[in-house]
Amino acid sequence: MYTQGLDQQGDGPTLVENEQDLLEKFQAKVDAEEKIEPKDWMPAAYRKTLIRQIAQHAHSEIIGMQPEGNWITRAPSLRRKQILLAKVQDEAGHGLYLYSAAETLGVSRDELVDQLIDGTAKYSSIFNYPTTSWADIGAIGWLVDGAAIMNQIPLCRCSYGPYARAMVRVCKEESFHQRQGYEIMIALSRGSDEQKAMMQDAFNRWWWPSLMMFGPSDNDSKHSAQSMAWKIKRFSNDELRQKFVDATVPQAEYLGLTVPDPDLKFNEETGHYEFGEIDWQEFYDVIQGNGPCNRQRLAARKSAHENGAWVREAAAAYAEKQRQRKEAA
C-alpha cells in the first residue's frame, strides 16, 4: 500500500502512498465535485493538460485584443470608442487572471509569454482573421464572445480551483461584451441599406470561424475524453456548438440576417437546427500559421513585448528597492 520516499522538503524519509492509491483518491475527489487546489497532489498529465489549456486561453485573450484594438481610433462615436476601449482593457485583464492561474501549476509567466512569442504555443484560431469594417466589431462581440461564453461558463465548474474561480469573473465580463456586440448589430440593422449590407458581410465572414471555435468533433480529439473524466471539461465540442447554433440563429433572424449556410434547417423532431459541414481544413491551416493574419498578430505581440521591456525592468527595480527598504527597517 505504501512505499518509502522523501517528503517534499527533503528533511528525511516519510511514508508516501504509491501512485495508484494517489490516483484513486484524486479521481474520487474530482468525482465528488471537490476542487483540486495548487498544493494538492495531482497527476502529472492533469497538470500538463491544465497548463496547456489555461495558457492557450490566456494567449487568446491577449492576441484577441488586436482585431478590436485596431478600431479604437476609428470607432464612429465617442461612446463607441469608450465602450470598445473598456472591452479591450477587459481582455487584457482576462489574460492576466489566466496567466496567474497557470502560475499556480508551477510554470512561470515569462515561460508562457516566450512560448507565445516564439510560436510554439497556440491561441484561438479566430483571432487570425482581419477586422475590415466596423460591423466586424459587432460580429466579434456577438458571435466570437457568444461562442466563448458557451465554452467558458462550464469552466466555472472546472475541477481545478484557481481556473474555475478566474472564470467566474471572466464570464461575467464576457456577457457584457456579447451584449455590446449585439447592440452594434441592432443599430446597423436599423440603419441604411449600406449599413445592413456591411452587417451581412461581416456575419458571412465570422459565422463559420465562430463554429470552428468549439474545436473538431470530440471523436477526433485526443484530449477530450480524459478532460471530461477529470472534469476540466463538462460538455463535448459538438454539444456546445449545437447549443450555440440553436441560440444564435433566432438572433440572426431578428436582425434580418441570412445565415450563410444553405443546409441550415430546423428539425421539428429534435428541436435543434441542423447545419452544413464545417471546412476543417481551413481551421487546421489557420492553426498551423497560414491564416490571413497569423504573422501580423505574432509580430505585433513581439513588438509590444520588446517595447515594454523598460516597464518590466522598472517594476522589478522598484520592487527590489521596496524589499531593501523593508529589510533595512
Round to whole Å and give the CA distance between 205 and 197. Answer: 12
Supply the pLDDT for residue 198: 98
By the 8 A CB rule, do 301 and 63 touch?
A: yes
Q: SS3 letters for 19-67?
A: HHHHHHHHHHHHHCCCCECCCCCCCHHHHHHHHHHHHHHHHHHHHCHHH
By the 8 A CB rule, do 37 and 24 touch?
A: no
SS3 label, residue 84: helix
pTM for this prediction: 0.89
Q: Pick from 285, 231, 239, 237: which is nearest to 49 by CA?
A: 231
Task: Give per-residue burial for 192-209: e unless 16+ CB within 10 Å, then b.
Answer: eeebbebbbbbbebbbbb
Distant-in-sequence, close-in-space partners of 147: CB < 8 Å, separation ≥ 6: 210, 211, 213, 214, 244
* pLDDT, tens digit only, all 329 positions of the chain: 333 334 444 444 344 568 899 999 999 999 999 999 999 999 999 999 999 999 999 999 999 999 999 999 999 999 999 999 999 999 999 999 999 999 999 999 999 999 999 989 999 999 999 999 999 999 999 999 999 999 999 999 999 999 999 999 999 999 999 999 999 999 999 999 999 999 999 999 999 999 999 999 877 666 788 899 999 999 999 999 999 999 999 999 999 999 999 999 999 999 999 999 999 999 999 999 999 999 999 999 999 999 999 999 999 999 999 999 999 88
* Torsion 85-156-211-49 (CA) sign: positive
How many CB atoms neighbour CB 165 within 10 A? Answer: 15
How many CB atoms neighbour CB 110 within 10 A? Answer: 10
2-6 vs 13-17, strand pairing mode: antiparallel
By the 8 A CB rule, do 241 and 212 touch?
A: no
Supply the pLDDT for residue 140: 97
Grid cell for residue 14: 516519510
Q: Pick from 152, 184, 214, 153: which is nearest to 87 by CA?
A: 184
Grid look-up 494517489 returns 22
Beta bridge partners of 14: 5
Supply the pLDDT for residue 329: 80
Supply the pLDDT for residue 218: 79
Supply the pLDDT for residue 47: 97
Helical H segments across the chain, by residue range: 19-31, 44-63, 65-69, 78-103, 109-117, 134-139, 145-152, 161-189, 193-212, 224-229, 237-255, 280-285, 294-307, 309-328
